[in-house]
Amino acid sequence: MRKPFMSRDQRIIIFTKNPEIGKCKTRLAATIGDKAALSIYEQLLDYTIGFCKKLSFPKKVYYSSAISKFDRWSHSGFYKDKQVDGDLGERMKAAFKKEFKDGAKSVVIIGTDCAQINELDIQEAFRLLFQHEVVIGPADDGGYYLLGMNYLIPELFENKSWSSEYLMSETVATLDANQIDYKLMDAKSDIDIEEDLAKEGFIQFYW
């Protein structure tokens, strides 16, 4: 088994929404209710923290709104920051730019909606970045659950159909048009709607 590449120059960005009732997993809440959707989202947060804690390189949590000084992310190895204003592309681009400016050589971003990703996937993403300029983890819904790169590529965050079934195809088209070398990882499922819950046996939810 090949050992994972680990370096202080590798950093992971975690984009998260503050867990507030009625403000997260809204598509899921439309069918199961706000309280149940929040409960599931909090389980996803704890799952993400659990596997990220196993990774030894720096991890930066970018909050959607106010930074909580003492919360579930207050573990050693997790640094905190706040997303800028703007659409998802603008917020992601700003986060990548900040990490590269701070000295990172390879950066991977994930969200907190995927229950199929784990620490081995993150390690694999960084390994692939030793061979490719960009790595992408496609989501079954047409988006992506992971994006990694070795330098800022602004075009990947511009003129995209965020939170739509077209995001992945638009992203690949941009990479192809700019002749950027990339590698696709295995496809995985995000949890966005009630039907997605059946795919994730580990979640215990109540309503």
What's the pLDDT at 47?
93
CA torsion angle for 189, 132, 122, 12 (degrees, to 10)? Answer: -110
Q: Quick one: which of 137, 153, 147, 150 has its CA closest to 190? A: 137
What's the pLDDT tens digit per position in 91-128? 999 999 999 999 999 999 999 988 899 999 999 999 99
Q: Give the pLDDT band of residue 200 (cuts 50, 70, 90).
A: low
Q: Give the pLDDT band of residue 3 (cuts 50, 70, 90).
A: very low
Of residues 56 and 148, more confidence is placed in 148
Of residues 77 and 155, more confidence is placed in 155
Q: Quick one: which of 121, 111, 118 has its CA closest to 167? A: 111
Q: From the centroid of its chain, how far is CA 52?
A: 11
Secondary structure of residue 168 in the 3-state scheme: helix
| Helices first, then strands: H and E counts in the chain | 6, 7
8, pLDDT greater than 90: no
Q: Quick one: which of 15, 23, 67, 70 has its CA closest to 45? A: 15
Rounded Cα distance between 149 and 155, Å, is: 12
Amino acid occupying residue 26: T
DSSP β-bridge partners for residue 144: 138
pTM of the model: 0.90
Rounded Cα distance between 61 and 63, Å, is: 6
What's the pLDDT at 201?
53
First to last CA, the chain: 43
24, pLDDT greater than 80: no
| CB-based contacts of 156, cutoff 8 Å, min separation 6 | 93, 134, 147, 149, 171, 174, 175
Domains of the chain: residue spans and CATH: 10-196 (3.90.550.10)
Average pLDDT along the chain: 88
What's the pLDDT at 202?
42
71 contacts 80 by C-beta, under 8 angstroms: no
Q: What is the maximum span of the chain, computed from C-alpha positions, in angstroms?
A: 49
